Amino acid sequence: MTLIFLTVITNGLAKQACLKMYPLLSDIVSIVKMNDATTRLADYESNNAMEWEILGRDHKVYASLLQALKKSNLSPKDCIEDAIWASSTDNYPDESVVNTLNPRDRFIRTASYWSSEGQSDPYIPETLMYKLRDGIWLVTEIDIQPFEAFFQPGKPIYSAKSVRFRISHAKSPREIEMNLKHLPVQKPADDMFGWTYTSPEFPMTQENRLQPFKLPEPILCMGGYLQIELLGRVQRQEMDGLFYICVCHVRVLGRPVHPAFDIEILEPHGKLLLKYYPEALSSVLKSVSSDEIPHMRQLEEKTMWERVSFLDILLRGIQHGPTNPGVLGDEEEEDEDMDEVLIL
């Protein structure tokens, strides 16, 4: 073993390189290399943390993690787990933020979208919040589709003028999970989150399409939360003269390092245990063939339907919604070409 290699391991240079590129990794306080019979746990606060065997193991884990983060060839996936909060909702639950998980603008014979409350001031912003999937992700892009009110004269599109994104981890995951059990969710206190990233402001166009907002550089997420700030209103509703923002669909694209790496939250302080599966690293680094990508997209759509809450389906299915104008006729089937049968 060369002197240079000894220096690299002794000084933890692989870990230092990881933390320099991705400071959020400093929340990792323990490592488990799965199927490792010699050393299963490294507690960096213990006296054994400087043992050579642990240092060598940690070097390999951090070097592999850095390689996975920089060279992952896995196809981007939607890493939203749940829609949890909106700064305002015009008609709850018909126009709930949960609807933005649906990639279509109608569901169970009714329009599917989130709507803000109306405002006379077009500069009043709105905020949507989402829980991201557990695990380690590099988020590269956030896509938003404004809602086109196909049941209103002229089919107005209720977009925002611009958007900005914030990403955080939860300082107290258990406390937030308790709050999420009470619907509709009240605004979580800002000090419950550790905001680690704020994006530039991106202009949004008043078009009925999924608009991609590519981040300047990939952002590391380990679970956590996404906040979407919708800045400025452009469309006034004809019937009341107020400005609204409506969103049909939100998608967050990220590259996972699973199944090679996983994390576990250590209560009560929210620190992290890193789990490494060395036999799975090659699957993260391998190239994805073009014929695999459509299959992945089909799986993502299937996952989306499984993700829509059963409660929401019941509410939307049994209530034809006097507060929701976008309801399709009972005698007709849901179809993209059936705007003429909408009950206004």
Question: What pLDDT is recorded for position 94?
Answer: 93
Query: Is the overall model pTM greater than 0.75, yes or no?
Result: yes
Backbone dihedral region for residue 3 (phi beyond 0: left; psi -120 to 50: alpha; all else: beta): alpha
Residue 189's pLDDT is 64
Which pLDDT value is given to residue 295? 46
Q: What is the pLDDT of residue 42?
A: 46
What is residue 261's predicted lDDT score, i.e. its pLDDT? 96
User: Which pLDDT score is estimated for 271?
Assistant: 84
Q: Which domains does the chain have, with CATH numbers?
A: 3-71 (no CATH), 77-256+287-343 (2.60.120.260)
Q: What does the pLDDT profile of the chain (344 residues) look like in tens digits? A: 566 767 778 788 999 999 999 999 998 999 998 876 544 444 444 555 457 788 888 999 999 999 999 988 888 999 999 999 999 999 999 999 999 999 999 887 789 999 999 999 999 999 999 999 999 999 999 999 999 999 999 999 999 999 999 999 766 666 666 666 565 566 776 667 788 999 999 999 999 999 999 999 999 999 889 999 999 999 999 999 999 999 999 999 999 999 999 998 887 777 889 999 999 999 998 854 444 444 444 545 555 555 544 444 444 444 444 455 555 444 334 344 433 322 22
162-178 burial, b for 16+ CB within 10 Å, e for fewer?
A: bbbbbbbbbebbeebee
Structure tokens given for 156: 């107005």
Which of 3, 2, 28, 6 has its CA nearest to residue 15? Answer: 28
